[in-house]
A and B are shown apart, each in its own frame.
Chain A
Amino acid sequence: MRTYVLKRLLLIIPTLLGVASLVFVIMRAIPGDVTLLILGGDQAGRIDPTQIAALRHQLGLDQPLLVQFGHWLWGVLRFDFGTSLWTGQPVLQELWIRLPLSLELALLASLVSVLIAIPLGMLAAVKQDTWVDYLVRVVSIGGLAIPSFWIGILCILLLVIYFGWGPPLEFTPPWVDPWANFQQLVWPVLTVGYRYAAVTTRMTRSSVLEVLREDYIRTAWAKGLRERVVVIRHALKNAMLPVITLIGTEFAFLIGGLVVTETVFTLNGVGRFVVDAVAHRDYPVVQALVFLIAFGFVVINLLVDLTYAWFDPRIRYR
């Protein structure tokens, strides 16, 4: 186990270095000049060239690419991502304001999805090819097909039409007013959670199906155990392994869900921060957020792989 952990830890260094380089390359591929954008974009002709030169110097854009790349890497190592072009505040500080909301949304949505997905997926597998199975599959494929921003719009349509509700403008943390917080987040949580549940349900179903075909399940049946014992004690436990991996890969879905859901519900979270930064062409923020999200993704996948190896020793020897 120790060599496996060490190997995996060493392997993420080149990946993260690659991520940092790719983000740098993408952000340098921007057509036109960032300085012109900052100084007022379209009336480029009327901007004083000395002003542009001064700003380019200030932003370090007049240095060789390799030096700029070095600066970026050094910044990344110290978690210093510069300041937002839009607000002038440090990127991390801006991020920090928005993180609690997104974290709460993400955690609650995951919780909701697990509570829905595991029982439903198990049920569908046990009742394979019956109407129960078809229903669960249709509902879960629906969760994949229906865009979360549309579910959000539908929620708003219903709430506005029937309750005259409008989305609140300011986020209330749960420790300030739990009820206000609940009212604010319940719809976004269900919106993101349903989509997440769809994926997990499918995975649970196929993984329980796989396990139900194993020899030891046949043995359990042959011993005369009741269905409940066979399914819950023998099948579910082993079927949960692939589902754990899903938590890692689903982080991507979750982020995507946050990006659109926060936009629909006008919640000031990390997801909407990304969209706003892209819309404002706030490149330092886009650069930092894309890097940090990828960083989080890599770390979560690593943790998932390690958990998996911990549970299933065969993996360590591959």
Chain B
Amino acid sequence: MATNVELSRVPAASADLAPRLSAVEGIAQFVRTKPLGALGALVILVMLGAALLAGTLAPYDPYQPDYAAQFQRPGAEHWFGTDEFGRDVFSRILHGARIALFVGFTASLAGCTLGGLLGVISAYQGGTVDLLLERFMDVLLAFPQLILALAVASILGPAVHNVVIAIAIPIVPRAARVVRATALSVKHNVYVEAVSALGATRRRVVLQHILPNVVAPWIIIVTAQLAGAILAEAALSYLGLGAAEPTPSWGLMLSGSASAYAEKAPWIGLFPGVAISLAVFGFNLLGDSLRDSLDPKLRGR
């Protein structure tokens, strides 16, 4: 028993040995060691700023058609030009950041939370519950992500909140699988056995001893899925199954008019694509670096 207590203290003790960093030093170190991750974080901050301040920053109303200003070239008046309804593309892109971030965050958080909970339950309960949940997850995993999202979206119909559901569902089994694996290895740790032997309730074991240990992989999955969710929203909206007109969704801005007016107004199809790519790029870079620093196996590589 004594050795068990000692063992569980080891990580805490070694963490104390590491020099404590202030927030500024921490950020400076992150920028130095993970330049690409810092770049990603910067992109995300800009995007967050655009989304939060879209109301004040946007020079025009993103919804209001202005038929006197159709197909304006990018210039001082309209930085990114105007579309076939005379709407300012720059303003629509700023407002589009809200939709991309909203769908990205809610879908990946919802999918990963549900998946994570199922994963923990599956790992902790074991037996039949585990077997049934695992088989169900296998079935969900048998569908390519976009196809499952398409099928769900086709039934729910085009609307932003339906897109969130359509994107979140395929995330569930992916999160469940990773969290279950971690929870399983945590469950077999000696200290979990020890607290169970000391008479801790199941709720206490799960909430205080298993959940805190699956947070790191959970965060990794949430960031990894964020980029995918933003891309999926763009793809669904592009295909006409996501946000509906006149919502300024980046994917929707690329559908139809972008290729129809390719010759006349190529900027309509240019800027929303840049916005999507930058956003996904930022989240991918940050997610990669976060995984590198949170996963001890990859640390120091």
Contact = CB atoms under 8 A, between A and B. Distances in A.
Contacts of B150: 259, 274-275, 278, 290
Main DSSP-derived SS at the B contact region: helix
A251 interface: yes
B301 interface: yes
B138 interface: yes
A262 B124 CA distance: 45
B65 interface: no
B139 A15 contact: yes
Interface in A118-169: 134, 137-138, 141-142, 144-147, 149-150, 153-154, 156-157, 160-161
Nearest to B273: A150
Contacts of A27: 155
A210 B254 CA distance: 40
Nearest to B234: A147
A260 B153 CA distance: 15
Interface string B163-198: 000000000000000000000000000000000000
Chain A interface size, as a band, is: 35 or more
A244 interface: no
Contact of B238 (A26, A154, A260, A274): A260
Contacts of A23: 151
A22 B139 contact: yes
Given A144-B280, A145-B277, A149-B238, A160 B262 contact: yes
Given A26-B152, A147-B234, A293-B143, A259 B239 contact: yes
A294 interface: yes
Contact of A161 (B135, B136, B148, B263): B263
Nearest to A138: B36
B241 interface: yes
Given A153-B259, A293-B144, A141 B254 contact: no
A19 interface: yes
Contacts of B2: none
B259 A297 contact: no
Interface string A10-54: 000011101100110011011100000000000000000000000
A145 B36 CA distance: 14
A147 B147 contact: no
Interface in B261-301: 262-263, 266, 269-270, 272-273, 276-281, 284-285, 288, 301
Most B CB within 10 A of own CB, among A144, A145, A160, A263: A145
A1 interface: no
A145 B240 contact: no
A90 B29 CA distance: 62
A15 B284 contact: no
A147 B145 contact: no
A161 B264 CA distance: 9
Given A256-B145, A290-B147, A147 B276 contact: yes
B258 interface: yes
A251 B147 CA distance: 12
B235 A149 contact: yes
Given A137-B36, A157-B266, A286-B154, A147 B273 contact: yes
A252 interface: yes
Contacts of B281: 141-142, 145-146
A48 B45 CA distance: 58
A19 B142 contact: yes
Given A141-B284, A153-B254, A281-B154, A255 B144 contact: yes
Given A137-B36, A278-B154, A256 B273 contact: no
Interface string A74-101: 0000000000000000000000000000
Contacts of A144: 227, 280, 284
Given A144-B280, A161-B263, A256-B235, A278 B139 contact: no
Contacts of A19: 139, 142-143
A251 B144 contact: yes
Interface of B: 36, 135-136, 138-140, 142-148, 150-155, 157, 227, 231, 234-235, 238-241, 251, 254, 258-259, 262-263, 266, 269-270, 272-273, 276-281, 284-285, 288, 301
Given A146-B276, A146-B280, A294-B142, 16 more contacts: A15-B139, A16-B142, A18-B142, A19-B142, A142-B277, A145-B277, A145-B281, A149-B251, A153-B269, A156-B259, A156-B262, A161-B263, A256-B146, A274-B147, A293-B143, A293-B147
14 contacts: A18-B136, A26-B152, A145-B278, A145-B280, A147-B277, A153-B258, A153-B269, A156-B259, A161-B266, A259-B147, A259-B239, A264-B259, A278-B153, A297-B142
